[in-house]
Amino acid sequence: MTKIIFMGTPAFSVPVLDGLIDSGYDILAVVTQPDRAVGRKKEIKMTPVKEAALQHQLPVYQPEKLSGSPEMAELMGLGADMIVTAAFGQFLPEKLLQSVKHAVNVHASLLPKYRGGAPVHYAIINGDEQAGVTIMEMVKKMDAGDMISQKAIPITDADNVGTMFDKLSMVGRELLLATLPDYLAGKLSPEPQDEDQVTFSPNIAPEAEKISWQSTARDVANQVRGMSPWPVAHTIWQGARFKLHDVSVVDGSGRPGQVIDRTKKTLVIATEKGAVSLHIVQPAGKPKMSIQDFLNGLGKTINIGDQFE
């Protein structure tokens, strides 16, 4: 059976790892990002892939930087046939790639569109009708290897980054498992990417998280969906950050950012074209809450004509 070193970090990677184990591949080691402090309490947490690997009693490696590390030298000595990565979060040194017969990546976009670390976010923010997964060969240049297989799925209005990651992780698992036997047998011919069609999806910059009310209602809604559940889009209310987790496009007009409708259960904000109704919000320093709970509490003084920045 093919001997594999698996590299991944977030929840997206776990079904892929589980699928390889369930299919009988010999997982020699799992490489993931180091444990990090998360949340307000800065509690040290393992990555989802580390938790899964430990459940399967697999050896785990967590180098801060893989290149030149003692861990990399040890991995190269394991005698693996191939490396499989899925949202690992680090570049793989060429020396490591050349130490195995095959190295493939499960990338959550329809390459050559959206190379980089946030392809699902950009697909939703840009209003794409579909997203997908590409199984690709790994090369030194980021997400630039030849494509082995690809599968697309629709993005619905109900989807956000969280739901699409859940769907695409399962697509990636099934596509990888369907691809590997023929690929390893030399029956598939990977296809080079069309460099003229390449686009990039860099990690979301903090300044990109702020809502521009001068956008259309559809663009605002896409931005909110494309940043939920992380990093979360925000606007400014009473001088403080006010996060938006869920909104919908509705009819209405007014000055961009202005409250144009307010009941005990609804709050509607005008954009440059159309309006959005807020559903799940998070005032500064508070947990996220329904708009009804906000309007009955912290937001009880908010009125039609008030302005979000």
> Residue 88's closest CA among 110, 113, 67, 111?
67
112 labelled ligand-binding: yes
Peptide bond before 119: cis, by omega within 30 degrees of 0? Answer: no
Question: Distance from CA of residue 287 to its chain's centroid?
Answer: 22
Any residues with CB less than 8 A from the CB of 84 and at least 6 apart, and which? 4, 5, 6, 7, 16, 20, 103, 104, 105, 106, 176
Phi, psi of 44 (to 5 degrees): -75, 125
Burial class (CB in 10 A: 0-12, 13-18, 19+), 79: exposed
Distance, in Å, from the CA atom of 117 to the CA atom of 154, rounded to the nearest integer, reads: 20
Strand pairing report for 3-8 and 82-86: parallel
Any residues with CB less than 8 A from the CB of 48 and at least 6 apart, and which? 9, 10, 11, 13, 14
189 labelled ligand-binding: no
109 labelled ligand-binding: yes
67 labelled ligand-binding: no
Residue found by looking up tokens 């144009």 in the block: 260
Annotated binding-site members: 109-112
Annotated binding-site members for (6S)-5,6,7,8-tetrahydrofolate: 109-112
